[in-house]
Amino acid sequence: MDIGFEGFETGLGNFEMELSDFNVKKDLSRRIWEYEYGGTIVSGPSVKEGTVYFGCCDYNVYSLDAENGKEKWRFRTGGVILSSSPEIHGNSLFITSEDGFLYCIDRESGKVKWRLMIDKKSWSCPTYNEGLVYVCGFEDKTFYAVNAETGKEVWRFRTGDIISSANSIYKNNVLFGCYDGYLYCLAKRNGKLLWRFKTGGNVFGDKSFAIKDGIIIFGSFDQNIYAVDCETGKEVWRFKTGHGVDQTGCIYDGKVFIGSHDNNFYALDFKTGKEVWRFETGGRIGSVPVEFRGDIYFGSADNYFYCLDSRTGKEVWKFRTGNINWCNPAISKGKVFFGSTDCHFYALDVLTGKVAWIFEASTLTSSKFREEEKLVSAEITIKPEKKYVKDDEKYNKIKEETVSLSDYQIESEYTTISEYRQKSDYDTSFVIFEEVIEFEELLTPRISFFPSFYT
């Protein structure tokens, strides 16, 4: 790498340094899930006034009585509803579908109020705040603000790569993650970029990031859990896990609770990021936990749903479903609600884990899905100065350096280097490596009220 020095003085005193453009090797990755039609439930539920709402890969949004699981209505979209969870404000329910639309549905009747095409498909969870709905596209790499009453676009912001992230509101700002490895912070009024924080992997998640005392908690597929100052975009701490982290956590009693694809569920000190305890499951954890009366609830790919003591990390109870549990749970009036890829939606007693009721999706054939991960190492040109281009207030865009890799493009601009360097980040060799992991699962249980695996 070529580094230019000007004004360099020898000795032990201070010196000045000016950097010219130089190249480094950086590992990038893309992790994509493709789900087909089926009864798989990944969409996290929302509970409001005795009714629980969720989406399903059978294209439907469901409304159920939270007390007994009886269906009130269903609304059919034009595509799979994967990780988008319903956002509720007043009588309106907002949700996205892989048909590319952001929907506003009357939550009492199940009738559509309006819909807005935002991309060819969308996975993200919308967030309502002060008359606007904030939502990500997907392949169009664009983040949108939409008028909640009319469904009209207010502004948009273009990032450097695919977006599949929920978003969080902090004061007058909106924050979200992106496949380009950045956590973005925009002014929620006009979409102006305030700062962005760079990680070494995809940043996404299907629930709003946890924020407390101005600190946002999120994971990245560079295997780290991050705490970042919402005001400045500066790193507070990071914690390294054994695999990618695709979700946020919950914050309770001075600790951050969060899972990783290394099969471990972690409790970290909120202020320092130091590990307090960890609990090992038998599969990857892609579920955002919730806390209730000192216990922590989450699902795992080992087919179990867990309840742990937040102080000790000891198991309180666990419940076995018929397939992977990646759905983010919700708790209301003594029940914990979650869906599973086994095509069932569950309501369990929050204290004992006993079944209150189980609801079947419209089909009991699990969605056929394909998971692909591409890991790429390439030389990236670092520019000493960041440059941003503002097209106008409605259309904000980052000027990116583009690197063609394999059969697709990753756009990224590596302009800052964390003080936490790792050897692999600065390897001077040039290597392009691609690893593709693909698997398909198909489960077709036939049940009545209780699944055959439930005893």
Segment 215-270, tens digit of pLDDT: 999 999 999 999 999 999 999 999 999 999 998 999 999 999 999 999 999 999 99
Q: Specify the pLDDT at position 121.
A: 83
Confidence tier at 32 by pLDDT (50, 70, 90): low
Condensed to tens digits (0 to 9), the pLDDT of residues 300-327 reads: 999 999 999 999 999 999 999 999 999 9
26 band by pLDDT with thresholds 50, 70 and 90: low
CATH number of the domain at 208, please: 2.130.10.10
Region 126-144 average pLDDT: 95
What pLDDT digit, counting tens, does each position of 66-91 carry? 999 999 999 999 999 999 999 999 99
Quote the tokens at residue 254.
């001075």
Residue 389 lies in a domain: no
Model confidence at 25: pLDDT above 80: no
Kindly state whether residue 245 falls inside one of the protein's structural domains.
Answer: no
Domain assignment present for residue 301? The answer is no
Return the number of other C-beta atoms located less than 10 Å from residue 392's C-beta. 9
The predicted-structure confidence for 355-384, as pLDDT tens digits, reads as follows 999 999 999 999 987 766 655 443 444 444
Which of 386 and 195 is assigned the larger pLDDT? 195
Total-model pTM: 0.79
Residue with tokens 């590596």: 414
Query: What is the domain extent for residue 89?
Result: 29-224+326-348+356-372
Which position has the token pair 């912001």?
Answer: 157
Note whether residue 114 is domain-resident: yes
Q: What is the SS3 assignment for the chain?
A: CCCCCCCCCCCCCCCCCCCCCEEEEEEEEEEEEEECCCCCCCCCCEEECCEEEEECCCCEEEEEECCCCCEEEEEECCCCCCCCCCEEECCEEEEECCCCEEEEEECCCCCEEEEEECCCCCCCCCEEECCEEEEECCCCCEEEEEECCCCCEEEEEECCCCCCECEEEECCEEEEECCCCEEEEEECCCCCEEEEEECCCCCCECCCCEEECCEEEEECCCCEEEEEECCCCCEEEEEECCCCCCCCCEEECCEEEEECCCCEEEEEECCCCCEEEEEECCCCCCCCCEEECCEEEEECCCCEEEEEECCCCCEEEEEECCCCCCCCCEEECCEEEEECCCCEEEEEECCCCCEEEEEECCCCCCCCEEEEEEEEEEEEEECCCCCEEECCCCEEEECCCEEEECCEEEECCCCCCCCCCCHHHHCCCCCCCCCCCCCCCCCCCCCCCCCCCCC
Share of residues in the chain with pLDDT > 70 (%): 74
Specify if 418 maps to a domain: no
Sequence-distant (≥ 6) Cβ neighbours of residue 13 within 8 angstroms: none
Q: pLDDT band for position 444 (50/70/90)?
A: very low
Structure tokens at 236: 């507070």
- pLDDT of 413 reads 34
Total structural domains in the chain? 1
Question: What separation in angstroms does the CA of 144 have from each of 135, 166, 185?
Answer: 5, 12, 13
411 in any annotated domain = no
Tokens representing 24 are 């480094």
